[in-house]
C-alpha cells in the first residue's frame, strides 16, 4: 500500500496534462471561484482531483461512468482512504455539473455513483487539564518558547484552524479592542474575541519575541505575518504541527490524543460544556452550516457519559 510520502514523490514525477484537459480544468476553477469564492486550498484540491483523473483517462469532457468507476477502483487498490475518495467524487460531481450548466455536456456520468461509506469519527478534544498542561509546557523564557505560548493561547482562545493561524497578518490583531479578524474557508471573515490570557501573551510576544525574530532582517517592517520565523516568513502548517507534537510530548500528553486542530476542537467542546449557545459557537468557529457545529454536542455528550461512569456510585 502506498504511503502519503510515496504519493508525494510520485506526484513530483507526473507527466503534463493534455492541453484540452488542462484548459477544461482551469475553466472549471475560474467558474467555481467566481460563483462561490472558494479558498485557494479548495481550488487546489479540485485541481489535484481532476488532474489525477485526466492522467488516468485523458479527455475529461467525454469520459463515461465506467471510466469514473475504473478510476475510483484504481485509487482503492492504491490504498486511498474512503474519505479521500468521497472528496474526489464531490470534485467530479461539481466538474460535470458545471459542464452541463454551460451546455458542454448533456448527461452527468457521476449521476449513479455512490460515495463510499465513511466511518463516523468524532474530533479529538483535550480535557481542560490537558490544555492547561500543553500551554504551560512552553518555555516562555525563550524567544521561540514565547512565540509558541502566544500561538497556542491564541489557537485555544479563538478556536482557530491551523491554516488560519499561520495565515494571520499582523494587521488582523486589534489588542485595544481585544478582537481578532480571521479569514476562514471560502474567504469568509469573522471577528473573534481574544480573552485576557491570550491578550497578555500576545502583548509579550509582540513586545519581545517578534522584534527579536525580525532583528536580523534588513527591513523588518516588510514582515507581514503575525507569527514569523527568523527569516521573517510565516510558519508553515507542517512546522506548526511538529511544534504542537513537541509541546504535547513535553506536557505528557499521548500523541494519539492530539491532532493539528486539537485546540480548535477543545475550544468548541469546552465552551459547550460550560453552556455556550450552539449558534454563537457556529459564528465563533466560522462554520457555514450549523450541522457542522453540532458534531461538538456529540463530543460533549460522550465526555459527560464517561464522567458519569467514572464517578457515579452506580455508573
Q: Which residues does the annotation mark as catalytic? A: 161, 185, 261, 264, 287, 296
CB of 82 closer than 8 Å to CB of 118? yes
Strand order in the sheet with 173-174: 173-174, 179-183, 189-193
Coil, strand or helix: which one is 234?
strand
Exposed (0-12), middle (13-18) or buried (19+): which is 73, by Cβ within 10 Å? exposed
Coil, strand or helix: which one is 174?
strand
Least Cα distance to 28 among 8, 45, 13 occurs for 45
Q: Where are the beta strands (DSSP E) in 89-246?
A: 173-174, 179-183, 189-193
Coil, strand or helix: which one is 263?
helix
Cβ-based neighbour number of residue 65 at 10 Å: 14
* DSSP state string for 5-46: HHHHHHHTTPPPPPHHHHHHHHHHHHHHHHHH---HHHHHHH
For 76, the grid coordinates are: 482503492
Least Cα distance to 183 among 165, 195, 202, 156 occurs for 165
- The percent of the chain in helix, strand and coil, each rounded to the nearest 5, is 60, 5, 35
Amino acid at each position: 500500500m502506498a504511503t502519503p510520502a510515496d504519493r508525494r514523490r510520485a506526484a513530483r514525477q507526473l507527466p503534463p496534462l493534455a492541453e484540452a484537459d488542462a484548459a477544461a480544468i482551469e475553466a472549471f476553477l475560474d467558474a467555481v471561484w467566481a460563483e462561490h469564492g472558494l479558498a485557494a486550498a479548495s481550488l487546489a484540491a479540485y485541481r489535484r482531483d481532476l488532474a489525477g483523473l485526466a492522467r488516468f483517462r485523458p479527455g475529461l469532457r467525454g469520459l463515461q461512468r465506467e471510466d469514473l468507476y475504473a478510476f475510483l477502483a484504481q485509487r482503492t487498490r492504491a490504498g486511498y482512504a474512503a474519505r479521500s475518495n468521497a472528496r474526489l467524487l464531490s470534485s467530479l460531481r461539481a466538474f460535470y455539473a458545471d459542464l452541463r450548466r454551460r451546455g458542454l455536456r448533456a448527461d452527468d456520468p457521476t449521476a449513479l455513483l455512490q460515495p463510499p461509506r465513511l466511518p463516523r469519527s468524532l474530533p479529538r478534544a483535550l480535557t481542560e487539564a490537558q490544555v492547561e498542561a500543553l500551554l504551560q509546557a512552553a518555555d516562555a523564557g525563550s524567544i521561540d518558547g514565547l512565540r509558541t505560548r502566544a500561538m497556542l493561547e491564541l489557537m485555544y482562545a479563538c478556536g482557530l484552524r491551523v491554516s488560519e493561524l499561520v495565515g494571520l497578518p499582523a494587521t488582523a490583531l486589534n489588542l485595544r479592542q481585544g478582537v481578532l479578524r480571521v479569514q476562514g474557508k471560502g474567504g469568509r471573515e469573522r471577528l473573534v474575541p481574544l480573552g485576557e490570557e491570550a491578550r497578555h501573551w500576545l502583548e509579550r510576544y509582540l513586545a519581545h519575541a517578534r522584534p527579536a525574530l525580525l532583528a536580523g532582517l534588513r527591513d523588518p517592517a516588510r514582515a507581514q505575518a503575525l507569527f514569523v520565523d527568523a527569516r521573517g516568513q510565516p510558519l508553515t502548517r507542517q512546522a506548526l504541527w511538529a511544534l504542537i507534537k513537541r509541546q504535547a510530548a513535553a506536557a505528557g500528553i499521548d500523541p494519539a490524543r492530539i491532532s493539528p486542530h486539537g485546540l480548535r476542537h477543545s475550544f468548541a467542546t469546552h465552551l459547550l460544556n460550560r453552556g455556550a449557545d450552539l449558534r454563537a459557537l457556529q459564528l465563533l468557529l466560522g462554520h457555514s452550516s450549523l450541522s457542522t457545529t453540532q458534531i461538538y454536542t456529540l463530543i460533549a455528550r460522550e465526555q459527560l457519559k464517561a464522567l458519569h461512569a467514572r464517578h457515579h456510585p452506580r455508573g
